[in-house]
Structure 1
Amino acid sequence: MAIERMHTTQRMSQIVRHGDTIYLAGQVGEGATVAEQTADCLASVDRLLAEAGSGREHILQAIIWLADIADFAQMNAVWDDWVPEGHAPARATGEAKLAARRFRVEIIVTAAVSG
């Protein structure tokens, strides 16, 4: 089975498609608040999934890292509005030191191909 990689650099690919499964690299966002960064992350997820032939209704799993777990409610307020009703994926959320101090949330998604 072929492996397709998109937006690839020496370090990583933003999208890896293997069969009917799509793996996205961790997405971080811009903004001053966790809510703004979460919304920006999710916009990137939407764009990348569409490019790979999927959408938020087909997300299998999401892993969310917060720089401060105290921001859990702010992130969830945006997440809950974004996830289509009846299509909530398996999900884990934890606290971690992220790649740069300005990042407060990182979202990693695995999805099935649409159709």
Structure 2
Amino acid sequence: MIERIETGPRMSRIVKHSGTVYLCGQVGSGADVAEQTRDCLARVDALLAKAGSSREHILQAIVWLADMSDFDAMNEVWDAWVPEGHAPARACGEAKLANADLLVEVIVTAAVRD
């Protein structure tokens, strides 16, 4: 069974299937990549909780940066957020994001908590 949560005409913010949670891309607000990353990851936390999961259950994360020169600043926030021993498989690349003010977007796949 597929469960869609917070579904609109274009996308669902959360999709659950066979014990796996898929989140749509999350962005944050703020003046720099560190602020945007903190806000983005707080949104990931909220959606995971709504889906019955948590950051300890993240299987994979894809991080898009508007500029790879922000890699170290984003990683500083990311590394503080990921629980020790629970780092997911992760990819990070540079991409033109949907809005020129956006510096980072994170896409997460996680397992539902047991």
TM-score range for the pair, normalised by the shorter chain length: over 0.9
Aligned to 1:8: 7
How many residues in Structure 1 have an aligned counterpart in Structure 2? 114
Aligned to 1:19: 18
Aligned to 1:49: 48
Aligned to 1:71: 70
Matched position secondary structure for 2:22: strand
Aligned to 1:82: 81
Matched position secondary structure for 1:4: strand
1:29: how far off?
0.3
TM-score by length of 2: 0.99
1:54: how far off?
0.4
Distance in 1, Cα, partners of 2:106 & 2:26: 5
Which consecutive residues of structure 1, in runs of 5 or more, have no partner in the other structure?
none
| RMSD, matched Cα | 0.3
Aligned to 2:38: 39
Matched position secondary structure for 1:51: helix
1:21: how far off?
0.2
AA in 2 matched with 1:4: E
Distance in 2, Cα, partners of 1:14 & 1:37: 18
1:92: how far off?
0.1
Distance in 1, Cα, partners of 2:4 & 2:34: 30
Matched position secondary structure for 1:64: strand
Distance in 1, Cα, partners of 2:80 & 2:60: 17
**Residue identity (%):** 70
Distance in 2, Cα, partners of 1:91 & 1:112: 15
AA in 2 matched with 1:79: W
Distance in 2, Cα, partners of 1:44 & 1:19: 23
1:19: how far off?
1.4
The equivalences for 1:76-115 within 5 A come to: 76-115=75-114
1:55: how far off?
0.1
